[in-house]
Amino acid sequence: MLYYIEHAIFTLVLAVLISIYYRKGPQQFFRVIVLALKELPGVKAIIDGVLKKEVSSFVKTTSLAQDVTKSKPIVRIPETGISFDDLRQQMKNLQKRDANPERDGNVFAYQYTLHDQNFELQEEAFDAFCEKSGHSVEHDGLVKEFFHGFMHENALNPMIYPALRLMETEVVSMTASMLHGNREVVGFLTSGGTESNLMAVKTYRDMALATRKGIGKPNIVAPITVHPTIDKAAHYFGLDIIHTPMSADFTADVKAMEEAINGDTVMLCASAPQFCHAVVDPIEDIANLALKKGLPLHVDACFGGFMLPWVEKLGYPVPKFDFRVPGVTSMSADVHKYGFCVKGASVICYKNADIRKHQIYAYSEWPGGLYGSPSMAGTRPGGNIAAAWAAMKALGEDGYMAKAKSLMDITTKMINKIKTIEGIYIMGQPCMTAFAIGSRDDAINIQAVADVMETKGWKMERNQLPDSLHCSILPHHAHIADKFLTDLEDSVKHCKDNKALAKKGTAGVYGMMANIPDKGIVTDFLVEFFSEVYKCK
């Protein structure tokens, strides 16, 4: 009897696997096999051991090798305080180890502003560079002055520091106005785009649970290109996220989004633009869908919120993406990106106060008194609020327009040249100061091109699914764009002539990871990587 039961179970499992293979394809088939193997006793331990070994080997090939592969003593607080002069010198030494966009112009993300500290150009050359890039040392000096002036103040309690409350409300108001919001649009400052998007997800989850019945596990419907901070928010706040595919032009597939919506959906999300390829999702179509389904729509404009409005005013084609579109109920925009403020300043805006109130956390039963907090952070550094206020007031619309024009001139020049390089192309229709470069066919591995570019000193931003290279154009690219284009053309030619490059270096790693059927293993690799890198050895 037991024999027949085992035989029946085996036959059933085999039938299921065959069905998966023919319905879902070999990739999904092998993913199921890998997932099943991981459940076998001892297999997980083997995989973990392999991951640790691979992470250790990978780290040794990176710029972190000198730091994380050497044994170091435990760091303790010094018995005697270090002198200010020594600390300043240590800071200078540490800064020399980091990528220096001002000096090299070789970074395409992370640092959107410039400063003159340790800039190695001669004074006359630096002045010419600033004029060409639209950079103002005086602007940075003012922002720093405001940051330092309020660096010890805390916006946790608006009654203690009324100046911070005033500056925050004005920053939100200026941002809302820039995004075509009316007088009803309200919001808060946050520590960055991650927190802004976290707050939007938390708000819509709480709003749905407070106003709707019958919700099981809340979910978000968003295109696969939405920024991972939305996934991070879903993970933190206990929501599912249903990813929908891209259209051929790399924008969100609206029909797929509609099909993904179900009774547990609490919000839709789209990007303006999505970071990967710098294309704006069809916000008007998605907003119509949101209205049709009675759902809120969050537009993540962290990357483009402080650039797209000015690009549009310059006359470039930009689809409607902001509060002009009925159905858009919230937007996030980072002041510390193209708002040209110090790091740590973003704005989350809501269509009205009724929505925003679901972001606020309040607790009235603590023995220490009444507690309320508008965002994730308790302590809210005053310096970032003051710096954001100063940056926006100092630049004004004319300043933002000038910077947008300068950066769009560089972007247009680069895009036009890249379109002439055989074998690569610009992906989709980028709408602002960023673009993605893909390869036209299998003759060129774009990750191998990135590897060659890195040997020439460039720090390339890599996309996957499909593989491509992301470039955000920043002020420090004004003096280096021609060199980038020359090096890119040479790198493409080099890869054409050396096919084996596609199997080496980072290109090889990306190729390997793209073929792993269970992305959970890649996720485990990333967790192990961060664990290894941040060890204090």
The H or E element that residue 495 is part of is: helix 481-497
Share of the chain above pLDDT 90, in %: 48
Mean pLDDT across 376-387: 86
Mean pLDDT of 144-155: 80
Average pLDDT over residues 272-290: 97
Question: What confidence category does residue 377 fall into, taking pLDDT thresholds of 50, 70 and 90?
Answer: confident
Which tops the pLDDT comparison, 336 or 510?
A: 336
Q: How confident is the model at residue 322 (pLDDT cuts 50, 70, 90)?
A: very high
pLDDT, position 277: 95
Residue 82 is given by DSSP the state P
User: How far is residue 287's CA from residue 319's CA, in Å, rounded to a whole number?
Assistant: 13
Tell me what the mean pLDDT of segment 224-251 comes to. Answer: 96
Between helix 382-418 and helix 137-149 the angle, nearest 10°, is: 150
Average pLDDT of the residues in 386-415: 91
**pLDDT tens, 99-110?**
555 555 666 554
Q: What are 1-12's pLDDT values in tens digits?
A: 555 555 555 566
Domains for the chain: give ranges and CATH numbers. 17-71 (no CATH), 156-395 (3.40.640.10), 397-532 (3.90.1150.10)
* Phi (first) and psi of residue 189, to 5 degrees: -85, 145
Q: Which residue has the higher pLDDT, 394 or 438?
A: 438
Region of 385 on the Ramachandran plot (φ > 0 left; ψ -120 to 50 alpha; else beta): alpha
pTM, entire model: 0.78
As a whole number, the mean pLDDT across the chain is 81
How far apart, in Å, are the Cα atoms of 128 and each of 122, 131, 133, 363?
10, 5, 9, 55
Tens-digit pLDDT profile for residues 194-236: 999 999 999 999 999 999 999 999 999 999 999 999 999 999 9
Mean pLDDT score, 284-299: 98
In this structure, what are the phi and psi dihedrals at residue 413, rounded to the nearest 5 degrees?
Answer: -60, -45
